[in-house]
Structures are given as C-alpha cells and as structure tokens.
Amino acid sequence: MKLFGSEGLLLMEVESIAANGRNLHIKGKMMGQVPMLVVMGPNELRETLKMMSFRVVVQALRMLFLRSAPH
C-alpha cells in the first residue's frame, strides 16, 4: 500500500501489517528509501479510533467499493 501526500509525492510504502503479541507491526519504507518498523500498541489504536468520527468511518467503508483514481 502506498501513502501519498497532498502534492502526490510518495510518503510511505507499507509492505506489511502483522499482529505481534499485543501490538501491530507496520513495516515499510519512508519516502521510498528509509526502512521503518512502526509499532502500534493498544493505546495508539484507541487514540486512532477516537480521531475517526462516524462520518469518517462511513466514508472509509464506502471507499472500499470505489475504483481508484489514477495518480
């Protein structure tokens, strides 16, 4: 999965997301170069969910059924 900034530049390429004990490990590369392992624990996941309003959750679910626009 590739994450782009508002200007269309590649910010992070996520290679994998895996469960590891009580955490999620997100492995990827920043800016296409720098290897990175992000560890998301239960507190960070709860904080992430608190940031998402009902409208954002509905939009995210709706996006699963939309075709991607070319970059």
- What's the pTM value of the predicted model, to 2 decimals? 0.73
> H helices within 1-71, ranges in order?
42-51, 54-63
Contact 3, 15 (CB under 8 A): no
Instruction: Give the model's pLDDT for residue 67.
Output: 86
> For the chain, how many structural domains are there in total?
1
Asked if residue 12 belongs to a domain, the reply is yes
Is 16 within a domain? yes
In a domain, 43, yes or no: yes
71 belongs to a structural domain: no
* Residue 28 CB neighbours (<10 A): 19
What's the CA gap between 58 and 37, in Å, rounded?
29
For residues 25 and 37, give the distance between their C-alpha atoms in angstroms, rounded to a whole number.
Answer: 7
pLDDT digits (tens, 9 = 90+) for 6-39: 998 999 999 999 999 999 999 999 988 999 999 9
Q: Is residue 35 part of a domain?
A: yes
In terms of residue numbers, what domain contains 25? 2-63
Asked if residue 70 is part of any domain, the answer here is no
